[in-house]
Structure 1
Amino acid sequence: MSALNLDSIVQRNPEMVSADMDGEMVMMSIENSAYYGLNAVGSDLWEAMENPVSITALCDRVTKNFDIDMASCQSDIMELLTDLRDRNLVQLAE
């Protein structure tokens, strides 16, 4: 599996079942028999990944919508997306 970088184009796994619960996204993985929850920032990212999007564009979106600097944002998003990809919740776009 190739490593993610800022130019990677990602999208959420279309097989995931997700719902907004009081402003936080909750997803269910039938494959993993597990539930996952995302805070406000993660929920915003999940919404943005409905269609293929670059990680750079996600960072731009988050720095506009939340109080975070670009360097911290890039680091945090890379860590989150790597974790989500490892759990098969996010994938590289075809």
Structure 2
Amino acid sequence: MNLDMDSKVIHDEAVIFTDIEDKIVMLNVENGAYYDFDSIASHIWRKLEKPISVAQLCADLCEEFEVDADSFRADSLAFLDDLMARNLIIAC
């Protein structure tokens, strides 16, 4: 499933994660895969604690980081699609 701007996403409950300094490390308990995120990806992950639309997520992040909205949306959708493919987030 590919996400679009109207999709709502949230962490998958099968993922255990913690903050280490300003980064997130996580384990998907269903498949045993371990991940770590850089500071920007970790910032995005923290925003997925409760359901949020991709459009709202992008709007919030564009405001916080003052980036070009069009390219940021495309990058964000690709990142979220990757998280979905790895069973780290779910659409709700």
TM-score when normalising by structure 2: 0.92
Find the counterpart in structure 2 of residue 17 from structure 1: 16
| Higher RCO (CA-CA < 8 Å; seq separation 6+) | 2
For residues 21 and 41 of structure 1, what CA distance do their matches in structure 2 show? 14
Number of equivalent positions: 92
* Structure 1 unmatched ranges of 5 or more: none
1:34 and 2:33 correspond: yes
**What percentage of residue pairs aligned between the two structures are identical?**
32
- For 1:18 and 1:48, how far apart are their aligned partners in 2? 14
Distance 1:30 1:24 in 2: 19
- Structure 1 distance, partners of 2:71, 2:50, is 24
For structure 2, the 5+ residue unaligned runs are none
> 1:3 Cα deviation (Å)?
2.0
The equivalent of 1:66 in structure 2 is 65
Counterpart of 1:68, as a letter, is V
TM-score, normalised via structure 1 length: 0.90
Residue 67 of structure 1: how far off its partner (Å): 3.7
- Aligned residue number for residue 80 of structure 2: 81
Matched position secondary structure for 1:43: helix
